[in-house]
Structure 1
């Protein structure tokens, strides 16, 4: 086992979190088992987090803050810890995404990451055969917290119809994911359009991309290839992407008709018939 006394708190957010947890615990004159009893976990888990061998969750951090009366130290710190679990090449984009005032995206293969359910995200991320799947899932869910901010970004998603039909995980996972997409009808700052198959060729056959706009910084375009991501603020690239996105929006179904299509796919492919019974399309 790693000796916690040898941890360098400056090595990573996870190491810093572990060293601070140990410092606060010892200041409270609690051993690992005693703290575990208070926050409803094992002494082993406390030890693993203190030695940076386990990534803490947000729920764990909130319980630690309450137990040790830290004033929210660990709840604030856990966001940095979870973001550090993202692939290195993706972290710069995640930082910019969190600062964006407007996010527009075209997704050709799957549901946009900010709109994924936990189980859908787990199934998607597992395809990369990662060593630490649960940490990646937790990091993705942490990214989604920007949608719950007091002043969230405006998010406009154009989703290829293929993403509705491609079975990710299981029929139950897909049913829950499509229901989650429909739930965004209640959100003022998130809009979803579906680009239907009947459109045929369109302005982004080459693939998915994200368009970020900021209050005080230049616009950015983000794309991914098989193993990494790429950001650019080149004015010509941004202008070209804006034109293509405008064409995609014009070709896509309206927000209302998109919701109808999502509901229809739920019924016909994943056996859910509750959508029409519960409420009409807003």
Structure 2
């Protein structure tokens, strides 16, 4: 079995290579120039270019040829493929996979993670773990459905600037938020990103995210927690330390957030997946 995902999963390159995962890259346009996520644009380069750009970067789903290349590569290696993709409510990436798979003579199962960043990445990791244990595609998909239902993805936004630039929030709301030092915490619900709460001050907002973990009333001792950050590694590591202290999980995976989700989260954003 071959596992395929897209570059919005935000899993480190070494983990993807270790698990032999094929990654289909999404595309980014910044100031009129096109880039391929993870191919000719690293996460660090993306945040640097975004901070200097007058407009908001634009992301788009992979080209049909990218799907064809990935599916053919998978077909040469094995007779069946499991594709796990970014939420269909946030991108056309999964639908692109569904259309192109008809062009390849191979068994290809396409699964909607209904999430993004490590919300997708952690599902990919679980699929890889089950693959190593000899699970069938059907059993893996059944387990991923359970994880998808139970998983919570919460994101702290340092600023509303990108939401304003993207036309999702009015400039006057950003001005009020800045005056009152209001921070937005959003979450993924049924595949969509929705505002969970606006809170005064960064420290309170981060504590609110930790409270969300506590309210889930889950024993995290046998679980891995995921954190992605938008060019704010110190904040991410401080959050990791607090999670380890309060919840004692097996591990906390910390990585950078890529362009697909990072464009909307903006500099200083933090995502926690649990």
Query: Larger Cα Rg: Structure 1 or Structure 2?
Result: 1
Which TM-score bucket, shorter chain as reference? Answer: under 0.3
Q: Which one has a larger percent helix, Structure 1 or Structure 2?
A: 1
Q: Which is richer in strand? A: 2
TM-score, with length taken from structure 1: 0.25
Query: Whose relative contact order is higher, 1 or 2, with alpha carbons under 8 Å and at least 6 apart?
Result: 2
Q: What is the TM-score when the length of structure 2 is the normalising length?
A: 0.25
